[in-house]
Structure 1
């Protein structure tokens, strides 16, 4: 709530939510519009202590308008290349995004804006803003416009609708931010199952996901990859998430001054570790659930602000025993590879029995996988 109030104050004093606030000022340094992610997640989770209507006004302005003054836009107010994004449903390669610290990077911007639009759509639905909800949910699907059906990977696209023909999925390119297309292809937390279908189905999705690790393409040192190891859960192979999360914890972090695998970037490198050590991770902030990984501790307690405790126990956990054999929540059999925010706030005990061999039957039914898009209300 404190952070959200500060962001609303920035909007009240400067006229826009910041894209990347720094030096007590607006900047055009990074590419997403993730104040929407932070504020929207707080609203979805019913965090109190700030003006929700004012927050929605601020988020909506960023998502629907560009500054009238070029000087304001140049100084970092508003989304970069918003007009192109709204016109084409993606940012074409012809828009070089000149008024930005990171010029070009059109595909990464498209993917990040589509996710932000999804989060804002959820807030619009919660506030019963029907027209905005419908528009934003349609925009949340804009990620499909930059996934090349020929390869199943993110690809640059021209204004005439044609994709680049280059085989560039595994090399650095101008239309991707600080990475390669294979990294950013997975930046669809709002519709993982839709991405799976776009790739040609579950088998092709799993094959590409496996290759991120078998071919050493995964890059933990850059945060847009951080949800990738958790995506096996959506494909009903949670044991692979358990293996990769545990491996990343042990290989990408150590207890030295250089113990992080990359720039901590506002705490995300550390936050990934803390969540993953607890045993779950918010793949899609803005949706009120967390995807289960592999807990690191025999017992971990969250002291909640409502006075309750949520406890995670992992019986037999060790460096070898990283695989979940079975689970219970408050003594009842638990078969889901995700847990809701509401279940955590209710307090209680989530218990895992751990082992050194994957249990390929736990949490593998379709109904046990994380929701890709939670059931949406439809406004006519």
Structure 2
């Protein structure tokens, strides 16, 4: 999303490269390295990248060709040779059959084996990404199927514990349940950390958890236990989820702490690998005062900017001045946000509005 905001021409070139790779190898790459296919990571996020660009108006490529490649990843199982060479979604047959990847499917042909719950959550997000394009292109039948699959995250949410959990083919849950331990069904994290991952349907996740107050309590618990791990990018949206509760000021509090505690200009200044620049992109977004909780959508969730004034120059020739006006004894909490003279309701900003330029002012107390 940061590339799409600041350098949409480069973002368009990325999409064209993904399509070219898909044409050359007959499959859209999932985690391309060394100009080759790999099964190194989970998810199918080339689809999410293309959908994000498309939804933000970056469209100088053949979207029909792109759609067919994305659809193939989402609906088809490669033959054995292609699968071994890293093409296609891992565990796709199980995912299509059960609506989640059960514990019995160990995903042997992958660098990250097992990790069934994390895969299910990532695939549900990618299905949502593809659904947004299917809807826009009038692919009605595909859209209906994908829209339903968007909610597959619910299939691995155990309401009895209020978190994501490994599940077997017969519907029973993995035992024992250890919320704060590394489990084989979670990628590089814990069930608690991954339980906040449904960026495509945060309101639905909130309801599943038990409502906004319950979400707030769960977020408080995560941060109080120091279980939030900024070094693992799938959790980067978590601090901004307070915007979906009655305490958005806690987003501003936690984001400010992360900016100051998790980044440094010296050796070891990042708390995790800067995978595809995401650690850095988070810092830039958070410093500007907004972040794409759902990167496929055209919306950002607001937080307090790090600087008193920033000027953003867009490739369309427009500029956006971001200002922070603080009261005499301000603690940095947002009182109101004004965009081009109009007060914003809530904490949501629109991509299309921002790239038209103007002035975005945060008043803090």
- TM-score exceeds 0.5: yes
1:326 CA displacement: 1.9
1:317 CA displacement: 8.6
The 8 Å contact of residues 131 and 147 in structure 2, kept in 1 or not, is answered as: yes
Q: How far apart are the structure 2 equivalents of 1:285 and 1:124?
A: 17
Tell me if 1:308 matches 2:318.
Answer: yes
Q: How far apart are the structure 1 equivalents of 2:342 and 2:41?
A: 45
Could you list the runs of 5+ residues in structure 2 that have no partner in the other structure?
Answer: 1-11
Tell me if 1:291 matches 2:301.
Answer: yes
Equivalent residue for 2:335, pick from 325, 329, 337: 325
Question: What does residue range 22-37 of structure 1 map to in structure 2 within 5 Å?
Answer: 22-37=33-48
Partner of 1:20: 31
Q: How far apart are the structure 1 equivalents of 2:177 and 2:93?
A: 29
CA 1:200–1:52: 2 relative to 1, 3 Å: same
Partner of 2:71: 60
SS in 2 for 1:268: helix
RMSD after superposition? 1.4
Which shows bigger deviation, 293-302 or 114-123? 293-302
Partner of 1:43: 54
Q: Comparing both structures, which one devotes a greater share of its residues to helix?
A: 2
The 8 Å contact of residues 233 and 278 in structure 2, kept in 1 or not, is answered as: yes
Partner of 2:4: none
1:25 CA displacement: 0.7
The 8 Å contact of residues 312 and 351 in structure 1, kept in 2 or not, is answered as: yes
Q: How far apart are the structure 2 equivalents of 1:107 and 1:236?
A: 29
1:202 CA displacement: 2.1
Question: What does residue range 295-374 of structure 1 map to in structure 2 within 5 Å?
Answer: 295-316=305-326, 321-355=331-365
Question: What does residue range 92-241 of structure 1 map to in structure 2 within 5 Å?
Answer: 92-241=102-251
Q: How far apart are the structure 1 equivalents of 2:170 and 2:18?
A: 38
Q: How far apart are the structure 2 equivalents of 1:333 and 1:76?
A: 49
The 8 Å contact of residues 297 and 317 in structure 1, kept in 2 or not, is answered as: no
The 8 Å contact of residues 98 and 104 in structure 1, kept in 2 or not, is answered as: yes
Q: How far apart are the structure 1 equivalents of 2:213 and 2:340?
A: 35
CA 1:15–1:297: 2 relative to 1, 3 Å: same
Q: How far apart are the structure 1 equivalents of 2:309 and 2:273?
A: 29
User: How big is each residue's C-alpha offset from its partner over 1:258-279, in whole Å with a ceiling of 9 and x where there is no partner?
Assistant: 2111111111111100110011
SS in 2 for 1:190: helix
1:331 CA displacement: 1.4
Tell me if 1:6 matches 2:7.
Answer: no
Which shows bigger deviation, 239-248 or 333-342? 333-342
Q: How far apart are the structure 2 equivalents of 1:252 and 1:317?
A: 27
Tell me if 1:259 matches 2:269.
Answer: yes
The 8 Å contact of residues 31 and 39 in structure 2, kept in 1 or not, is answered as: yes
Q: How far apart are the structure 1 equivalents of 2:15 and 2:77?
A: 22
1:318 CA displacement: 11
Q: Which runs of 4+ in 1 moved over 6 A?
A: 317-320
